[in-house]
Structure 1
Amino acid sequence: MTAVITIVNKSPVSRIFTNSFRGAKTFRSITKMSNCIFCKIISGDAPAEIFHQDDKMIIFKDIKPASKHHFLAVPKEHIPNVNSLSKNQIPLINDLIAKSKQVLADKGGNLDDTRLGFHLPPFNSVSHLHLHIISPVSEMSFISSFVFKPNSWWFTSVDQILEKLEKSKL
């Protein structure tokens, strides 16, 4: 079965959707999507305030911060979203979490007043997996608190994702 990919251009970010359940596996083997803003940041073709970069990930400042410290940890491999993750990617998620906490601590963020999580499709604005690191949570606006509400239909905690992946058979 071949994935059918439709690219819908919406400024400033293109969204990539697949209408085949095998499409996620096809995407996993692609390391760079030409219309993905995060792939462009990774390759240096788009600007970002980068705090960390290694062979697996990049961490940079969110362009619309919800609090004083709001970073995105993005794997360099193009993974569309949390629904595309498999059990064998748990180490990647754990690395994103650990490095994010280290960057937050280095930037003076409060690890005791932090939210880490992912937006769930279709509520993710960029179709490239990215972990939100937000601190201090206590200083978030009402709207931001709603947008990044843990374990809602639109945003989930890292703990919930890890639990789901541990239980998965793939």
Structure 2
Amino acid sequence: MAGEPQADCLFCKIVAGEVPATVVRETETTVAFRDINPQAPTHVLVVPKAHYRDAATLAAAEPQLTADLLREAGEVAAEDKVVGTGYRIVFNTGSGAGQTIWHAHLHVLGGRGLDWPPG
């Protein structure tokens, strides 16, 4: 069922504290933690505590929770002091776009030049 924790989901396990992560922020609805394979000096994932397969599914089901993720992305950027130099917020949706964990999440990237295309 959408929103319910999934036993085989890595991010659900991180949210539950069953898998360690370097958590930088936590709210009632979200958890933000450092990426284990950072692509920039600031690379933090922000995930909803509720399980949704991808960003589009999350946005359709719970627009307020989607807004919570975006607000937390801004807080992460402020705490990592990348607001002044700029940062990127990325939702990968689908395997063709690079989504590898099937739990909606966004990436906050900053702290270096982020030319387009990303990488």
TM-score using structure 1 length = 0.62
Any stretches of 5+ residues in structure 1 without a counterpart? 1-25, 147-170
Any stretches of 5+ residues in structure 2 without a counterpart? none
Q: Provide the rounded CA distance (Å) in 1 between the counterparts of 2:102 and 2:75.
A: 25
Which residue identity is paired with 2:44? F
Which structure's residues are more often helix, by fraction?
1
Q: Provide the rounded CA distance (Å) in 1 between the counterparts of 2:14 and 2:65.
A: 19
Q: CA RMSD in A?
A: 2.1
Query: 2:58·2:104 contact (CA, 8 Å) conserved in 1?
Result: no
Deviation at 1:54, TM superposition (A): 1.8
Q: Provide the rounded CA distance (Å) in 1 between the counterparts of 2:26 and 2:84.
A: 21
Runs of 4+ residues over 3 Å off in structure 1 = none
Higher relative contact order (CA 8 A, sep 6+): 2
Deviation readout 1:14-37 (Å, 9 max, x if unpaired)? xxxxxxxxxxxx3x142x111111
Q: Provide the rounded CA distance (Å) in 2 between the counterparts of 1:145 and 1:139.
A: 7
1:125 counterpart residue number: 100
Q: Provide the rounded CA distance (Å) in 2 between the counterparts of 1:139 and 1:82.
A: 22
Matched, 1:110 2:77: no
TM-score using structure 2 length = 0.85
Query: 1:115·1:134 contact (CA, 8 Å) conserved in 2?
Result: yes
Q: Percent identity?
A: 26
2:67 counterpart residue number: 94
Structure 1 residues 102, 111: closer, same or farther in 2, change over 3 A? Answer: farther
Structure 1 residues 139, 86: closer, same or farther in 2, change over 3 A? Answer: closer
Structure 1 residues 59, 86: closer, same or farther in 2, change over 3 A? Answer: closer
